[in-house]
Amino acid sequence: MTAKAERIALGTVLAVAAALWGWALSRPLQPYYAAAVHSMSHDVSAFFFAGFEPAGVVTVDKPPLAFWTQALGVAVFGFHPWAIALVQVVEGVAAVFVLHRVVRRWAGPRTALLAAALFALTPITAAINRDNVPDTLLVLVLLLAAYCVTRAVDNARWLVWAGVFVGLGFLTKMLAAWIVLPGLALAYFVAAPGSRGRRLAWIGLAGGVTLVVSLAWPVVVTLWPGAKPFVGSTTDGSVWQLAFGYNGVTRLVGGSTGIGGGYGATIGAALGGGAGPLRLFDAEVGGQIAWLLPLALVSLVVAACRARGAAAKTKAGWALWGGWLVVGAAVFSFTGGIFHAYYTAELAPAIAALSAAGLATAWRWHRSEGPARFVLPAAVAGTALLAYVLLDRTPDWLPWLRYPVLALALLAVVAALLRAPRVAVVIGLAAVVAGPAAFVVDTAVRPASVLETADPGAGPPSTDAVRTVVGLNTGQGAEAGYVRFIENAYRLSPGQREVLAYAQASSTEIVLAVEGGTYGADPFLLNTDARVAPLGGYLGFDPAPPAADLPQWVSAGKLRYVLLPQVFLEIGRGAAKQRTAAVGDAGELTGRIGWEAKHCRPVPPARIGPDAATAGVLFDCGVRP
């Protein structure tokens, strides 16, 4: 392949990826993170601490790096959903380019192009790149770390930069970034020159850099001498509990560390099925990531069996991607706490690289004599059979597609056996990518599901899991209320405008507090710059503030008006009962509401405006009932 042909092919892959992920940019995004980005884009304190709102009450449940990049995009283009989505698309396309460079250094230009294409056609990759979750940036910085490791084989100083990028991954999604560390370390160890002690010393240095970069922001937050927001989704406002509890142990094994910890097993089972060796193939996860997973694993096993005599750099590539995939697949398969199917996007680069290398190897073997020439048709046939199984799970969505996949695979096998390798490769690749490509295209062209904003996914949408998580199996009315709320998150209703205008007549630090968590505050923060704050963090369970602090907030002039939003009145009671039973930590929510009902006076809706009643109940805590 000439350099020009390679550039054209890579440019085509990148352009197709950008078109698929960037189609219809003005679509709904997760309002929780979007509202935080809006606040961060015009408030320095919110920007640094990853604050949810400019009033400085509570942070989001993730570290700030991904939202910093999104906030910078908003600063350039103004606040629009498409401005946030554009940042995600750019980061996603950059990840495809970096993967190409990493694989090219290991396995050559043809394998690199195939890996880039397979990565771009991974359904869950498309889903996260069309959403506003931090995983898009996480994948990019981890790929940059992998690139630095491949360079470190020739120049050890690059290993330090690998540590920097993994540390930045921690500042994107905390412990999820450290999953790739074994693979990166193993790749350097098996390929770098010098003594074993020298290689271990460099790995130790890079690990130290990873630790320093990872913990830099948490240390600054901990030692900050002035006022700072309460760290969301924790019980004590500690960023360490967020990193190693709620986003650490609770995610891995369940438990009660952090707010909602006891709810983790329920969420994990709802969104990803039960923990176990086949989780990545189950109904919720399989269609997102599993299409090429067996091919990648078999390729890795075959490479391991034939590793003797291989060049050091070849071993390094298999070690890097193999360690990345094996450790990541084990973590996500057996995670017993909070788990979302879209977490598996972190596996997509390794699956694409290993699958491409496996197919390239099978192609070379097919041109030889002996049993090895049957590997290519076997790989195509096995991958197509899995695609048939995954497509058969959605019989109402493109029900005809699974049959052409099998037919193409059969033709590819026949062509391979008849020693028509080029025909076999073209038809075989079509059979391999038809299923995941259909998922990706469907994700790009169909209107976004409202409930998917809480849990991004590709292909035919399923809302059952999301309903379980938000506690909406309390009846169709509750579900409809939640859907209406999400649909209206990006616009302020007349009633909400009237309530906000009424509250703005006061001179308190927090113009309006919204009870029950961030969902009720989202419309105010997405559509205005007013200092509106949620009480209780994401789900309303955080002690932010505890009920005991409300009298001081009121007497100090920090707070006067509290809104119990209509969405809470419609769906909150039933959902709160379910969450309380599963989580056991709703005391702060009920305590605050109890204090507000006892010490604050409901404002008659007629005094506020003709539509005020539709916004909920407004309490005036500056006047005793």
Q: Which amino acid is at 304?
A: A
pLDDT at position 260 is 54
Same domain for 218 and 297, yes or no, is: yes
DSSP 604: P
pLDDT digits (tens, 9 = 90+) for 410-451: 999 999 888 888 898 899 999 999 999 999 999 998 876 656
Q: How far is it, in rounded angstroms, from Cα 589 to Cα 153?
A: 54
Per DSSP bridges, beta strands 616-620 and 532-534 are unpaired
Same domain for 290 and 203, yes or no, is: yes
Assess contact for 344 and 332: CB atoms under 8 A: yes
pLDDT digits (tens, 9 = 90+) for 355-383: 999 999 988 887 776 777 888 899 999 99
Same domain for 281 and 419, yes or no, is: yes
- Average pLDDT of span 475-479: 47
Same domain for 615 and 518, yes or no, is: yes
Residue 190 lies in a domain: yes
- The confidence band for 26, taking pLDDT boundaries of 50, 70 and 90, is confident
Same domain for 480 and 348, yes or no, is: no
pLDDT at position 462 is 56
Same domain for 524 and 429, yes or no, is: no
User: Which carries the bigger pLDDT value, residue 327 or residue 425?
Assistant: 327
Q: How far is it, in rounded angstroms, from Cα 76 to Cα 69?
A: 11
- CA R_g for the chain: 26
Residue 579 lies in a domain: yes
Alpha helix (H) residue ranges in 537-623: 550-555, 566-567, 573-583, 587-599, 605-608
Same domain for 403 and 552, yes or no, is: no
For residue 472, pLDDT over 50 is answered with: no
Tally of domains in the chain? 2
Of all residues in the chain, the percent with pLDDT exceeding 70 is 88
For residue 68, pLDDT over 60 is answered with: yes
Residue 143 lies in a domain: yes
Residue 39 lies in a domain: no
pLDDT at position 448 is 66
- Omega of the bond prior to 545 within 30 degrees of 0, cis? yes
Same domain for 491 and 437, yes or no, is: no
- The confidence band for 481, taking pLDDT boundaries of 50, 70 and 90, is low
Same domain for 427 and 570, yes or no, is: no
Q: Which amino acid is at 400?
A: W
Cα angle, residue 356 at apex, residues 333 and 274 outer, rounded to 5°:
10
pLDDT digits (tens, 9 = 90+) for 264-314: 455 555 567 788 999 999 999 999 999 999 999 999 998 888 877 788 889
pLDDT at position 579 is 44
Residue 435 lies in a domain: yes
pLDDT digits (tens, 9 = 90+) for 522-540: 999 999 999 999 999 998 8
- Decide which of 422, 444, 466 is a domain's last residue: 444
Q: What are the strands of the beta sheet with 512-514, ordered from one edge?
A: 532-534, 512-514, 561-565, 616-620, 601-602
Residue 386 lies in a domain: yes
Q: Which amino acid is at 207?
A: G
Residue 466 lies in a domain: no
Residue 447 CB burial class (10 angstroms; 0-12, 13-18, ≥19): exposed
Assess contact for 375 and 397: CB atoms under 8 A: no
- Average pLDDT of span 400-410: 96
Helix/strand/coil percent split, the chain, to 5: 70, 5, 30
Task: Give the other-Cβ count within 10 Å of 226's Cβ.
Answer: 5
Judged by average pLDDT, the poorest of 59-68, 104-113, 257-266 is 257-266
Same domain for 306 and 429, yes or no, is: yes
Phi/psi zone of residue 448: left (φ > 0), alpha (ψ -120 to 50 degrees), beta?
beta
- Decide which of 402, 423, 444 is a domain's last residue: 444
Same domain for 439 and 555, yes or no, is: no
- Decide which of 444, 467, 501 is a domain's last residue: 444
pLDDT at position 360 is 92
Domain of residue 511 covers 476-620
pLDDT at position 259 is 58
- The confidence band for 219, taking pLDDT boundaries of 50, 70 and 90, is very high
Same domain for 486 and 358, yes or no, is: no
pLDDT at position 467 is 47
Residue 51 lies in a domain: no
The overall average pLDDT reported for the chain is 89
Q: Cα dihedral sign for 96, 97, 102, 108?
A: positive
Nearest to 98 by CA among 47, 50, 149, 36: 149
- Average pLDDT of span 321-345: 95
- The confidence band for 222, taking pLDDT boundaries of 50, 70 and 90, is very high
pLDDT digits (tens, 9 = 90+) for 583-597: 445 678 889 999 999
